[in-house]
Each structure stands twice: as structure tokens, then as C-alpha cells.
């Protein structure tokens, strides 16, 4: 018997996200501004409130070390 088991994507800890990431203005993974595009990573509840986490459409780039 073969069954395909899929695991849900690992969602970031909402408590560690910046407010702009919590509100869906910036990517929840890399922190870059989403602008008019983005895709839903998942929905979570934090302190009883629902949050929909958004990420980059084309995939995330790692945040720059220089802070620029």
C-alpha cells in the first residue's frame, strides 16, 4: 500500500516577525516588500487573532548581511 504523505509548510513564528510581515506588507520569510504580488504561505493564530502570512511569488532571497 503506497500512500503519499504531505507535510504542511513550516510557518515562521509570528511572535518573531516584524509588524509589516505580520500584516502582509513584507514577505514573512525574507522581509522584502511584496508590492502588488505575493502568495499565501499559510494561516496561523497568535494571541487568539488570525494572521495570513504572505511570501514572495518567485521565491525568497536571503536577507542581505549588509542591511541595505
pLDDT in tens, 12-61: 888 899 999 988 999 999 999 998 889 998 898 888 888 899 999 877 76
* Residue 22 belongs to a domain: yes
The pLDDT-based confidence of 10 (bands split at 50, 70, 90) is confident
What average pLDDT does this structure show over 2-19? 77
- For residue 65, being part of any structural domain is answered with no
Residue 33 lies in a domain: yes
In a domain, 10, yes or no: no
Pairing of strands 49-55, 39-46: antiparallel
Q: What is the pTM of this model?
A: 0.71
Domain count, the chain: 1
Looking from the CA of 68 toward its CB, the CA atoms found within 13 Å total 1
- Report pLDDT for 34: 92
Q: Tell me the residue range of the domain where 43 lies.
A: 16-55
Residue 61 lies in a domain: no
51, 43 contact by CB (below 8 A): yes
Q: What is the pLDDT of residue 16?
A: 92
Amino acid at each position: 500500500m503506497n500512500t503519499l504523505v504531505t507535510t504542511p509548510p513550516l510557518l515562521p513564528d509570528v511572535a518573531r516577525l516584524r509588524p509589516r510581515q505580520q500584516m502582509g506588507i513584507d514577505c514573512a520569510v525574507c522581509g522584502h516588500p511584496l508590492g502588488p504580488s505575493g502568495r499565501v504561505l499559510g494561516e496561523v493564530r497568535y494571541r487568539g487573532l488570525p494572521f495570513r502570512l504572505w511570501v514572495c511569488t518567485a521565491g525568497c532571497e536571503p536577507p542581505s548581511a549588509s542591511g541595505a
